[in-house]
Amino acid sequence: MPRCPEFTLPPLAPLSPWTVAFAQVALGIAARSIASAADLLGRVHAGLPEPPDLADRQEGRKPYDQATDILATIECVLEDDLLCRARHKRSSSKTHSIVARMSVTTT
């Protein structure tokens, strides 16, 4: 069975302290990487044929095969990604709300 080679980034020297601008750039890079990975997983999920007995495997009447395991794993990861996006939107709106209140009280 083909395996994907392990990929690890070299360790980064700590920057102390990080500036807000640098953190925003790093967050943007990370967000684009996550979005690209989610897109790739969606394409794999869409392109991988479902086993004809998928429901039996998902309900535990038959053991998982590789295709069912891959599909289930991708679904789980993509659902977690959507939860993450929802949390980020809530966090972002709270931050905007706090900043707006601060600017009103300081002006």
Is 52 a member of any domain?
yes
CA distance 16 to 6: 29
Whole domain around residue 34: which residue ranges?
A: 24-106
CA distance 79 to 24: 25
Structure tokens of 96? Answer: 């905007």
Is 51 a member of any domain?
yes
CA distance 52 to 70: 15
Is 15 a member of any domain?
no
Count the domains in the chain. Answer: 1
> For 37-47, what is each residue's pLDDT tens digit?
989 999 999 99
> For 75-101, what is each residue's pLDDT tens digit?
988 888 666 666 666 555 555 555 555
> For 4-13, what is each residue's pLDDT tens digit?
556 677 777 7
pLDDT of residue 96: 53
The three-state secondary structure class of 7 is: coil
How does residue 1 score in pLDDT terms, banded at 50, 70 and 90? very low
Is 12 a member of any domain?
no
